Structure 1
Amino acid sequence: MASERAKELARKQKAEAKALKEAKKHSDNPSDWGTVRQLRESYKLAAQYKSSTPWILLACVLGCTAVGVVLGLLLDPMVMWIIVGFFGGLTLAMYVMQRVVKKAAFARAVDQPGGGEMALSMLDKKKWHYTAAVAVDRQMNCVHRAVGPGGLILIGDGKGAHNLLGAEAKRYKQVLYGVEVQTIMIGDKKGQVPLEDLTAHIKKLPKTLNKEQIEEIAYRLKGLDRMHSRVPLPKGPLPTSGNMKVSRRAMRG
């Protein structure tokens, strides 16, 4: 009897594992994809955004391989240099595709509600704490928040987010005594930061806080959040249709 139960349990576990594997295989969530599918979907996104991508990637591989052949003619052994050139070309092609994918994803996120969250998600989570949409208005303009070595930063996201950003900055200054509040407005106008440059811009800010100060401010902000209700914001600034999906891990490289 015990043996039959064990066999039945084993069959059930095997069936569940098979069902889970099948679900992941057909999942639209990039986090469920394997490496091969991530590369395939990233390539599709890059090629759709920039039609010349296949030729650029091919040029990277062939160009580096050609350099390997030349080095092989000058230095022995030739086979080794050809292999080095080929894999060097693959590495260069992957880097180029990553850059195109990142541009494509940011281009899709521009003007979408909460699009700035994508840029913030690419910050080093060991150094930075970020919270998306700490404030949202009726027009879906919103303000994001990041705390890290560069200080406490409020990011206005949306064409009409100026007033909301100003109001939030004033509120934070009144509550968080002794903490400097910096503001950034996402956009392409003078004094604004383009979405695709936001991550790099934040990383380059002068370091004003150490690890202990960051943790202390993050703790104080939790209390502030509990007192300030937030309007739900539609998730997913990344493309959500068909083969336009791409994982953020692939964007990071």
Structure 2
Amino acid sequence: MANRTSEPEKRPGFFSQIKSLFTFTREIYPWLPWAQIAMLIGGVLIGLLIGAFIPPVNVWTMVLWGVSGLMLGVLASMFLMTRLSTSAMYQKIDGMPGATGHVLSTSLGRNWQASEAPVGINPKTQDAVYRTVGRGGVVVVGEGSRGRLTRLVNDERSKAARVAHGVPVTVLYVGHGDDDVSIADLAKTIKKLPKAIDKTTMAAVIRRIDSVSQSISSLPIPKGIDPTKVRSQRPR
């Protein structure tokens, strides 16, 4: 019997993604539809106001300016929804085990490399340590209770300092304490670190750390977060 060729996975269409993004964001910001309606109306009014002062003033020019204002309102409402969807995502995953790995692996850009899986974890408490390497050096991020994270963080910091001599190692803790970094500000905080190494050194550091890192594939990964359910889909 001939093998059936697997059909390619059907990706959601543009309007389907817009609907998902809207639904996702409205759960956190119920006032979003009213704000978008106000922007659409405001855009039309601005267009009509401009058309009333720019000659020639007639029905067709007013219609064209009104449509132009409507398009401006659509763009403004889309921009607002996109910005709010990011904030909504952070609010949903805040405090969930595994949220740090999700942010590190999706929000740092090309100058940083990280994995969604932790490099150290306490299976009983789900306290975890994550690592990312970039132009700012090595960053070790603890997720969970500081007291229980001490050994895991110190082990990872010592490992990084040993194999990447001279490369700065920064330790951050995700949380809401005085010295903690909120999950919403984690990516921004890391990106603001001053550049300390070039791309060649960065690649070498990644290889060295990976070569001495113990495999944690058999360790349980925190189950508190499913990024596919909390990450808003952006229209393509």
Instruction: State the SS of the aligned residue for 2:184.
Output: helix
Structure 1, unaligned runs of 5 or more: 1-7, 25-31
Instruction: State the SS of the aligned residue for 2:115.
Output: strand
Letter of the structure 2 residue corresponding to residue 63 of structure 1: G
Whole-angstrom distance in 1 between the partners of 2:220 and 2:22:
33
Counterpart in the other structure of 1:123: 108
Superposed, 1:7-18 pairs within 5 Å as 17=7
Letter of the structure 1 residue corresponding to residue 169 of structure 2: V
Counterpart in the other structure of 1:158: 144
Whole-angstrom distance in 2 between the partners of 1:162 and 1:217:
24
Give 1:249 deviation, angstroms: 5.4
Give 1:213 deviation, angstroms: 1.2
Whole-angstrom distance in 1 between the partners of 2:230 and 2:113:
23
Deviates more, 1:39-48 or 1:227-236: 227-236
- Which deviations, in whole Å up to 9, do the C-alpha atoms of 1:197-230 show, x marking residues without a partner? 11111111111121111111111122022x3545
Whole-angstrom distance in 2 between the partners of 1:158 and 1:62:
46
Change (3 A) 1:235 1:94: farther
Change (3 A) 1:90 1:208: same
Counterpart in the other structure of 1:196: 184
- Which deviations, in whole Å up to 9, do the C-alpha atoms of 1:49-83 show, x marking residues without a partner? 11111101111222122212111112254444323
2:49 to 32, 53, 70: 70
Answer 1 or 2: which has greater helix percent: 1
Matched, 1:107 2:107: no
Matched, 1:46 2:32: no
Whole-angstrom distance in 2 between the partners of 1:175 and 1:216:
10
- Which deviations, in whole Å up to 9, do the C-alpha atoms of 1:177-208 show, x marking residues without a partner? 22221111111111211101111111111111
Counterpart in the other structure of 1:134: 119
Percent identity among equivalent residues?
26
Letter of the structure 2 residue corresponding to residue 134 of structure 1: V
Give 1:151 deviation, angstroms: 1.4
Whole-angstrom distance in 2 between the partners of 1:238 and 1:87:
36
Matched, 1:83 2:62: no
Give 1:232 deviation, angstroms: 3.1
- Which deviations, in whole Å up to 9, do the C-alpha atoms of 1:126-151 show, x marking residues without a partner? 32111230111131111111111221
Whole-angstrom distance in 1 between the partners of 2:103 and 2:215:
24
Task: Calculate the TM-score normalised by the size of structure 1.
Answer: 0.78
RMSD: 2.6
Give 1:235 deviation, angstroms: 5.9
Task: Calculate the TM-score normalised by the size of structure 2.
Answer: 0.83
1:149 to 118, 135, 153: 135
Instruction: State the SS of the aligned residue for 2:70.
Output: helix
Change (3 A) 1:134 1:179: same
Whole-angstrom distance in 2 between the partners of 1:83 and 1:157:
50
